[in-house]
Amino acid sequence: MSHGTRATLRSSASATDLGVRFGGEVTLTIGPAEIGAGLIIERADLGARRPLDLPHCSPGPGCTVAGEGEVAVCFVEHLMAALWARGVTDCVVSVDGPEVPLFDGSAMPLLALIDEAGLARSGRPLEPIEVAEPILICEGERALAALPGEPAEFAYSLDYEHPLIGREFARFRPESGAFEAELAPARTFITLEEAEAAREAGLLAAGTERNSVVIYRDHVSEPPAVPHAFARHKLVDLVGDLYLLGRPLTGRVFAFGTGHRHNHELARMLADQPSRAERA
């Protein structure tokens, strides 16, 4: 994991899989962009392009959404985490439907896609975003805190009422370079009750146990791929959402039961911080 300089992709790579929210297959293609262009998302079926960044994204039901209305694209957070992990700052993300496929619900297929395209690192330096002063977001029993400090660190504390999930804790330091081993294998998870509610709300038109870990009343569809996998997957979402800032983060972030909405609020507060030059 290197974020010292900006990087794009050497070539394009594509993969097709099920779009679980709206049904039907979706093809995801990632490809090069000019250095400095940032991350760009394209609805190939509609000919619409926009920046894949915080001002153009919002928290949606159980995911992060790029754009809005008929050109919206759901489930961009896992891809953002994979791009962050590989240090990709400039590329074009293209989909021919309204969501990024979940694949198996982990970040592993997305890392593989980036590796297939290959990384082209430039000599242009990349300035990280520093947590300048403590930030705390509280909502009932949920909290998200960002503190100044190095090395960068992310931690998540999960406390779920379902007995097969329960309490989990995970922490990750990007300097370890262990995203692929520690976080990427952790899959999306959903309880049976949540899945049924999502179907009734029109938010789950397709999808099987291949796309996520399903938590039934008395068993789990698949053993966890890594220890504390549910909390680790929440970290994937967290780092993916924060990468909408377009730069890596230097600081320590601790989450307690929070989700996409809180991640976006924290990202906005970080974006509004004074720069290092302004603080000098």
Task: Output the domain CATH number for residue 207.
Answer: 3.30.1700.10
Are 139 and 229 in the same domain?
A: yes
Q: Do 234 and 190 meet the contact criterion of CB atoms below 8 Å apart?
A: no
- The catalytically annotated residue of 3, 233, 260, 262 is 260
Are 174 and 196 in the same domain?
A: yes
What is the reported pLDDT for 279? Answer: 60
Pair of tokens at residue 174: 């990007």
Q: Looking at 77, 110, 125, which one is the last position of a domain?
A: 125
What is the reported pLDDT for 4? Answer: 86
Are 199 and 182 in the same domain?
A: yes
Q: Looking at 77, 101, 125, which one is the last position of a domain?
A: 125
What is the reported pLDDT for 278? Answer: 62
Are 87 and 225 in the same domain?
A: no
Cα–Cα distance for residue pair 68/37, rounded to 1 Å: 21
Cα–Cα distance for residue pair 86/108, rounded to 1 Å: 12
Are 36 and 92 in the same domain?
A: yes
Are 60 and 157 in the same domain?
A: no
Are 11 and 113 in the same domain?
A: yes
DSSP conformation class of 108: H
Distances (CA, A) of 61 to 74, 106, 204, 223: 9, 18, 11, 26
Sign of CA dihedral 238, 92, 86, 116: positive
Cβ neighbours of residue 63 closer than 8 Å, sequence gap 6 or more: 21, 74, 75, 76, 77, 260
Q: Is 56 a catalytic residue?
A: no
Are 94 and 214 in the same domain?
A: no
Are 154 and 104 in the same domain?
A: no
Cα–Cα distance for residue pair 73/265, rounded to 1 Å: 20
pLDDT over 90, % of the chain: 94
What is the reported pLDDT for 274? Answer: 76
What is the reported pLDDT for 207? Answer: 85
Taking only the tens place, the pLDDT of each residue in 107-162 is: 999 999 999 999 999 999 999 999 999 999 999 999 999 999 999 999 999 999 89
What is the reported pLDDT for 2? Answer: 59
Provide DSSP, 218-268: S-BSS--SSTTHHHHHHHHHHHHHHGGGSS-EESEEEEES--HHHHHHHHH
Q: Looking at 96, 125, 154, which one is the last position of a domain?
A: 125
What is the reported pLDDT for 129? Answer: 94
Does this model's pTM top 0.85? yes
Sign of CA dihedral 114, 117, 121, 122: negative
Are 115 and 195 in the same domain?
A: no
Q: Which residues of the chain have pLDDT under 70?
A: 1-2, 275-280
**Residue 255 domain boundaries:** 129-279
Triad 49, 51, 56: Cα angle to 5°: 105
Q: How many domains does the chain have?
A: 2
